[in-house]
Structure 1
Amino acid sequence: FHNAVAQIRALNAGTKLNMVDLDEEKEVRDGQVVSPQDEDEL
């Protein structure tokens, strides 16, 4: 994961990237990267 972030930063030098909450576990749902839902919400 950290290697991927470093590559993204290198490829987008000079661009401010939003790195907020990147340490959280995420999943892809309907083409969007989102926080996982609780089983109660499913």
Structure 2
Amino acid sequence: MSSNPVVDYHVVYALAMIVFAATAAGTAWGLGRLWARLPIVRDHRWLR
């Protein structure tokens, strides 16, 4: 049972992940730069 009866934690976490993806947070806080240098990612731009 969630402690918040209005908004489930899954919704909050999903929105947070969408914000992180939309702002390209992986380049600053994660492995985004390393990922972008992989040959398969360079060949397929939709993986970025």
Q: TM-score, normalised by structure 1?
A: 0.32
Structure with greater contact order relative to length (CA < 8 Å, sep ≥ 6): 1
Higher helix proportion, which one? 2
- Max Rg structure: 2
Higher strand proportion, which one? 1
